[in-house]
Structures are given as structure tokens and as C-alpha cells.
Amino acid sequence: MDGIHDLGGMAGFGTIAYEEDEPVFHEPWQATAFALNIVGIGVLRNHNADEYRHSIERMLPVHYLQACYYERVLTGAATLFVEKGLVDLDDLEARAGGSFPLAAPNADDPMVDLTPQPVARFKVGDRVGVKDIHPKGHTRVPRFCRGKTGTVLHVAPAFSFPDAAAHGGAFRKEHTYHVEFASTDLWSDAGSENESVVVDLWDSYLEAAAS
Amino acid sequence: MDGIHDLGGMAGFGTIAYEEDEPVFHEPWQATAFALNIVGIGVLRNHNADEYRHSIERMLPVHYLQACYYERVLTGAATLFVEKGLVDLDDLEARAGGSFPLAAPNADDPMVDLTPQPVARFKVGDRVGVKDIHPKGHTRVPRFCRGKTGTVLHVAPAFSFPDAAAHGGAFRKEHTYHVEFASTDLWSDAGSENESVVVDLWDSYLEAAAS
Amino acid sequence: MSGQTKIASPEARTAALKDALSKKGLIPEGALEGVIQTASEEWDPKNGARVVARAWVDADFRKRLLEDGTKACAELGYEGIQGEYIVALEDEPTRHNVIVCTQCSCTAWPVLGLPADWYKSPEYRARVVREPRKVLHEMGLDLAKDIAIRVWETSAETRYMVIPCRPEGTEGWSEEQLASLVTREALVGIALVTSA
Amino acid sequence: MSGQTKIASPEARTAALKDALSKKGLIPEGALEGVIQTASEEWDPKNGARVVARAWVDADFRKRLLEDGTKACAELGYEGIQGEYIVALEDEPTRHNVIVCTQCSCTAWPVLGLPADWYKSPEYRARVVREPRKVLHEMGLDLAKDIAIRVWETSAETRYMVIPCRPEGTEGWSEEQLASLVTREALVGIALVTSA
């Protein structure tokens, strides 16, 4: 989805807050929230990592920006525990003593039609174009590189295709590619010389481009 | 700027709250904030409408999404009154009895290089492409139509070019065009048949496209 | 940005800005009140409703309105700030028009009034360009799939108003009666005009 | 979504979720504690520092690390969740590497540890792909204009780590000494390694 989570290149954000010698968790609840999600994925098999990422993406934009990372983790995991029926929202709110905002429901028709590519179609040095797709559901192709052309630096092994895995689609694996885009190709004449972004992209997001 | 204000097509927002018989202003301060900005533009000539729009665009994204419309108006206008030296932030905060969050400063190098087009280059029925520009400053070409091709429905008179006017650039006027884009061209196969968006675009945002 | 930590209320911030400018003598007497009066009383969707009703009963006016909305609205006395270039969009049985300003909240103040909160909300601005039929449905307007929807994005200086289809069963109604049917919602395209 | 109006604190919400799952007997004994212990003690940027130090002193290991980061890290015992496919990025005097995950906050937990808040912040995620030199400057790393910057976006399953340039003046240092120089910041590319 073209959501608030897809932050790459969005302007208007301020200085990055940096904390010296930051602890792994600032508060015990953060560790618990993190662990609840890991257990939800790895032990309970309540959800997979793609569903989890998408559950966070479905948070209302203002909540997404207000929440710290672990509140996002908590919200996404809780949404999936509720959606899969393991817990009940009313029960959660009664226990919490207040409202428990969850992420919004999944979109109808979340996937766009991308031909599966079980065999790697590209090799190092190939010029590839990124399809200008706008799925309503989960996808891992950042908006900033859609419609852009880059160069393959590396061919990675085949991994589960996230757009399908997040929405109960047919399991499939595809190679991903480390594709380098010049900053000036991404941001036109507001980009910078001598800077590039390398995006890791599944095969079916791509098409061959003129070199 | 590719900021939070450029909301068109962003997914993840919920239901639209609708109020029956809504008043013009819900609270007196909203009327005052509105009037302060109008007086700032029309009477004090402190700023123009393009600077004003951009001052709101420069709000931090989370503040932008949290604020109601008139808080955005207030924040933008106050930012410009402070930046132009008519009032002092410390004074404002002393008077307000608390902090007074302003918008972030203007970007360095806010404009991209677009050849001025004093004479209308296009006519009704022409196919035009929208340049894929990403100015760091103010622009009125929504991100959702950049790089897309549409059809001119109407040629409007020449108006001051906002990207320049917002940043003290050389005054110039250009015609704008009502350009229609098919939903399926904007959002690919996640768009809808029988729906289109008409965007009003200045001449120099555009280039001729194959028909 | 400051040593203050607690954010003052928008009300307190507005008062502070007004006071700071006033203390410097920058606000002419009555200037704010004048703006507020204009915004509250002159800019009114009833103006747009009168334009629509006139267009329904007067074919020559309708023609002038479609050819030069600014001039036609000025005939009825509706002009000025944010009405410098008005374009009227005529609904047809097979094509519906709806207006938005995705990047801020522009609209034709002299004929539509200041926009309602829903029009200015991030929800409307984000969604209506991408899923207009769904948005209209949620707002109570169901349009059949074969009715085309044109969403007009107020991204430059054109200020739009919708001329909805005249409802059936209003033959012989007076211009005033007809105007009373035209809501502010219909002028933006999130509702139709009905005679019920 | 609910009749409750006041939002419970994240702490209260977390406790509620834990209690609700526990009450149903869904959380195996020690499962949460085990995850927290692993995250707090095993996943540690010191692991990545040891990998880097080994690569600096052992040319064969460096070669294996660049060819198959996953296997090379596993040689030192660093593997598992979010370390299934590790790619090491070697800085050069004329090219600097920096890592981000713009869409969530992925990183190579076994070698880098759980990421710091700055890495997970909307500010870093939004800005570093578009203006890396400025972001690095603000974070204390000034790179000359003729040094190319590659920003690696962790958008799929590859988990990156940076092998910074070995600082001058460290000839003859032990692997352990060298590892002590390599900060978690350097492993992501927002800092260089210095011997001072």
C-alpha cells in the first residue's frame, strides 16, 4: 500500500535524535511487546513476518507517526492476534483499562497481478526498470524507485514473495536483486551527484530496461 | 517538496468525518487565525499565498496530521510573521504561556530548473506528460501524477508560477491546463475503470507526449 | 525552538499572535473583524446554489456560466478573493464531477463558502482521487459503475463549482425554490440534488 | 473500534495482550523471557565488530565474508533469525556504504543487534535515501564530495553489515583490540572507525 510507512524520500522530517549508548530496550514493556510478536510468529504461528509488517503499515498515519517503534510492534501484533481470533479486543481493552487502537483492516483485493518468476531473469550489470505498481496490500517495492531504472549489482537467493505471503496468496519464491539507482535518477535535478540508493527487489517487480 | 501535505492517493486513511450543518468556524480562535493570515497576505503584504501554502507544508509531518485545519493556518502564518521579522518567537511564547511550534525552515535551493513558458504550448486534446520533478521547495504538481500522461481538457489563463513565487524567484506567469488522467494510468491495475482525475498544471511542469 | 516545553493551546497561540501584531500597531482597526464578517456572512454556499438555479432556468445564463464562470458568477455579485477564475462543471447523467484540493484545501470561497472540515481532512484529500466511488458511497452517494467520475484536483488557480443535474419533478419551480434544493455538498459533488 | 475513549498506555496495552494470551495458555513457559534474553544478550553489535576485526586481520576470512557473509558470520557463531542472508559491504576510500530500512526497520540482528531508535525513526528512514551526505554530516560524519555514498535499502531479505575501512595506525593490533574500535554506528555506516 502507498502508506505512511513508505517513508523513503519524504521531505519535511527534522533532525534525527541520537542517543549515546542507547540500551536495547528503554522500558520493560518494550521488551515484552517485542517478544510477544516473536512468539506470535515463531511459536504460535499466528502470523508470518509479512503479515506482521503489513499490520504495522495499516496503522492510521497519525498513530504511526506518534508511536515509538515498540508501540508500532505492539499495535501490529495485537491487530493480528485479534484478527486471527486468539484474543478479543473487548477483553484487551478491559484488561488495559482504556482503548487499544489497532491497525485498520486489510484492503479488499490487496494484490496486483505480477507474473511469478521462479527463475532469475537478470544478472549483474543488467539494467532493469521497476514496474509502477500500486498494490492496495503489502508490497516491498518502495514508491521512490517505482518507474525508475537501475543496475543490478548482485543476485540474491530466492525468497518468499511478500506481496503474496502477507495476504494468503500462493506461496512462491523469487530471486531478489540489489539494484542501484543514481540519486539524480530518483530525484531528478534535486538529487545529488555521487550518491546512489541500492534497493533489494523481487524479480516480478522488475522488467528489462534498455541499457 | 515531497511532503506530508501531498496526500493525494496515500493509503491508510480512515473514514471521512462528516458533520451535519457544520458552522463556518467551530471556535472563535479559528476565525481569528484565519483572519490574521488573510490580513498578513492582503493588508500587511507580509507574505503571499504561495509562501503561505508552503509554510504549512513545512510543518513537521506528525504536527501536520494532528492539527486541525485552522491550527495549520495559524502555524503557517505565525511561521511567516516570525521569519519576516514582524514578531518574535520568544515574545509569542511568553504571551501564549507555552511553546509555539512553528514550521521548519525553507530548504536551501528550493527550486528546480524549469524553463519559463510564457506562451501556451498546449491545446485542448493534446496528450501531455508530467515531468518527474522533486523540488525541495514549494510546487503544485502532486506526486501522484508525476511521470504520468494525460489529456488537456481546458486551457486556463496565465497565473503566477508558484514554485518561484513561494521562494522569491523571478515573477512569471504561465498558463495552466486541466489535464485528465485515467485512474488506471495513475494507479496501474489497482486503479478503477470509468474514473479519472483532472489536475490543474502549469505549463512548465509539462512536456509533449505521444498521442 | 524554545525553552518552553508544554505546547500552548491553539487558542492561546492565536491570541498571542494577534496581541503581538496588535501591540506593534500592525493590524488596522476592524481589519480582522471585516475578514471574519466576510467569511461568515458573504461567502456562502447559498450563493453557489443561486448560480446553479439560475443556470437551470436560464439557458443563456447557463451558456455564459459554462463559457466564463467567473463573469457569470459576478453577474450575481459573487466575486473576489478565491473567485478570480471560476470554472463550472456540469454534471451529466453519465458523468459525475467531484472537487478536491489534495495539497491544501482550496475552494471557490465566494460561491461555495469556506470549505467544511471533511473537505479539509487528510482522509478526504488522500482518498477521493484514488477511490472516489468508494468515498462517495461512504458519504451516502451511490453511483452506478457505468457513471464516469471525474475528480477535479484544485492544484492551481482555477476554482471549481459543480452544476448538478436538475432533479426530475421540478418543472415550473421558481429559481428561488430550486436554489433551496442545492446543498453545499452538491456544489462540491459529494451529493446529488433531489426534490424530496 | 470500541466504547473506550481514553487510550491506554503502551505499557498497559502490552500487559493486557500478554495477560490475554497467557490466560488462554498460549504462551509457553519461558518463551518471552527467552526471546528477551536473546535480544538483550546474544544479538550484539560486538558480534559484528568481531567479524570486522577478523576480516581486517585475516585475508582469507575477508574473502569468505565478501563471498558469503552468512556462512562467514556463522563461522564465528553469529546466525539465526534476521541473519539468514547476510551481505557484507566493504567500504573503500572512495566509496562509503550506509544502511537503512525505509519501510520498517530491518537489520541483521545476530551481528548488529536490535537497531537503535535513530535507525527506526521516520526522520532517518525518510531522509537518508534522499540526502545521505547531509544526514551523515548532521550525525557527525563529514564525507568529502568526491567520496561516493551508496545507501543500501533493506527492502527484501538481505541483511547488510558494513565493513569499515581499517584505521591507520593500527598495524600490529590484535584482533580483540581492533574489534574494540568498531562501534555499532560504524557497522551501519553512520560513523567511521578511528583509532583515537
Domain definitions of chain C by residue range? 44-188
Judge residue D1's burial from the number of C-beta atoms within 10 Å of its C-beta, 0-12 exposed, 13-18 middle, 19 or more buried: exposed
Region C137-159 average pLDDT: 97
- Angle (nearest 5°) at CA B142 between B139 and B143: 110
Q: Which of B4, B15, B18 is the best mutation test for C, with the most CBs of C within 10 A?
A: B18
- ipTM of the complex, rounded to two decimals: 0.96
Band of residue D1 on the pLDDT scale cut at 50, 70, 90: very low
Tell which B residues from 19 to 38 touch A, by Cβ distance under 8 Å: none
CATH 2.30.30.50 segments of chain A: 127-208
pLDDT for B170: 95
Helix axes A49-57, A69-83, angle to 10 degrees: 110
Band of residue D5 on the pLDDT scale cut at 50, 70, 90: confident
Q: Is the pLDDT at D81 greater than 50, yes or no? A: yes
Q: Any idea which fold B127-208 has?
A: SH3 type barrels. (2.30.30)
Minimal-distance CA residue of chain C relative to B161: C156
pLDDT for C196: 74
The shortest CB-CB distance from B187 to any of A65, A134, A187 is to A134
Region C163-170 average pLDDT: 97
- Scored b (16 or more CB within 10 A) or e, C69-107 reads bbebbeebebeeebbebbbbbebeeeebbbbbbbbbbbb
Judge residue C144's burial from the number of C-beta atoms within 10 Å of its C-beta, 0-12 exposed, 13-18 middle, 19 or more buried: exposed
Region C125-131 average pLDDT: 98
For the domain bounded by D44-188, which CATH number is listed?
Answer: 3.90.330.10
Spell out which residues of chain B touch residue C26, defining contact as CB-CB under 8 Å. Answer: 44, 86
What does DSSP assign to residue B190? G
CA distances from C162 to C65, C71, C151, D43 (A): 11, 16, 11, 61
pLDDT for D3: 52
Residue A176's DSSP bridge partners are A202
* Contact between C123 and B16 using a beta-carbon 8 Å cutoff: yes
Nearest to A25 by CA among C66, D80, B108, D40: D40
Region C131-151 average pLDDT: 97
The shortest CB-CB distance from C21 to any of B87, B142, B199 is to B87
Rounded to whole angstroms, the Cα distance separating C21 from C30 reads 14
D47 neighbors D183 (Cβ within 8 angstroms):
no
Region A159-172 average pLDDT: 97
CA count, 13 A, side-chain hemisphere, D35: 23
Minimal-distance CA residue of chain B relative to C39: B24
A60 lies within 8 A of chain B by CB: yes
Q: Give kind and range of the element (H or E) at residue B156.
A: strand B149-160
Tell me if there are at least 3 CB pairs under 8 Å linking chains A and D: yes
Q: Which of B1, B91, B99 is the best mutation test for C, with the most CBs of C within 10 A?
A: B99
Mean pLDDT over the full length of chain A: 97
Place of cell 508560477: B161
Nearest to C51 by CA among C79, C31, C32, C30: C79
pLDDT for A211: 74
A11 neighbors B136 (Cβ within 8 angstroms):
yes
Q: What is the pLDDT of residues A111-139, one digit of tens each?
A: 999 999 999 999 999 999 999 999 999 99
Return all residues near C81 (Cβ < 8 A) that are at least 6 apart: B38, B42, C109, C110
Rounded to whole angstroms, the Cα distance separating C195 from D106 reads 58
Residues C42, C46, C51, C52, Cα dihedral to 10°: 160
Nearest to A16 by CA among C122, D123, C148: D123
Take residue B25 and report the three cell numbers written for it. Answer: 468556524
Among C4-8, C25-29, D109-113, which is the least confidently predicted range?
A: C4-8
Q: What is the pLDDT of residues A8-57, one digit of tens each?
A: 999 999 999 999 999 999 999 999 999 999 999 999 999 999 999 999 99
Binning chain D into helix, strand and coil, the percentages to the nearest 5 are 45, 10, 45
CA count, 13 A, side-chain hemisphere, A76: 29
Supply the pTM of this predicted model: 0.97
* Contact between B11 and A190 using a beta-carbon 8 Å cutoff: no
For the domain bounded by B1-103, which CATH number is listed?
Answer: 1.10.472.20
A202 neighbors A161 (Cβ within 8 angstroms):
yes
Q: Can you give the pLDDT of all 211 residues of chain B as single tens digits?
A: 999 999 999 999 999 999 999 999 999 999 999 999 999 999 999 999 999 999 999 999 999 999 999 999 999 999 999 999 999 999 999 999 999 999 999 999 999 999 999 999 999 999 999 999 999 999 999 999 999 999 999 999 999 999 999 999 999 999 999 999 999 999 998 999 999 999 999 999 999 998 7
Rounded to whole angstroms, the Cα distance separating A198 from A194 reads 13
pLDDT for C2: 47
What are chain B's partners, defined as 3 or more CB pairs within 8 angstroms? A, C
Rounded to whole angstroms, the Cα distance separating B8 from A13 reads 19
D130 lies within 8 A of chain A by CB: yes
pLDDT for D24: 97
Q: What is the pLDDT of residues D36-68, one digit of tens each?
A: 999 999 999 999 999 999 999 999 999 999 999
Region A177-192 average pLDDT: 96
pLDDT for C1: 44
B68 lies within 8 A of chain A by CB: no
Rounded to whole angstroms, the Cα distance separating C195 from C169 reads 7
A202: helix, strand or coil: strand
Q: What is the pLDDT of residues D155-183, one digit of tens each?
A: 999 999 999 999 999 999 999 999 999 99
What are chain D's partners, defined as 3 or more CB pairs within 8 angstroms? A
Is C105 catalytic? The answer is yes
* Contact between D104 and A56 using a beta-carbon 8 Å cutoff: yes
pLDDT for C4: 53
The shortest CB-CB distance from B14 to any of A11, A60, A112 is to A60
Band of residue D4 on the pLDDT scale cut at 50, 70, 90: low
Is C165 catalytic? The answer is no
What are chain A's partners, defined as 3 or more CB pairs within 8 angstroms? B, D
CATH 1.10.472.20 segments of chain B: 1-103
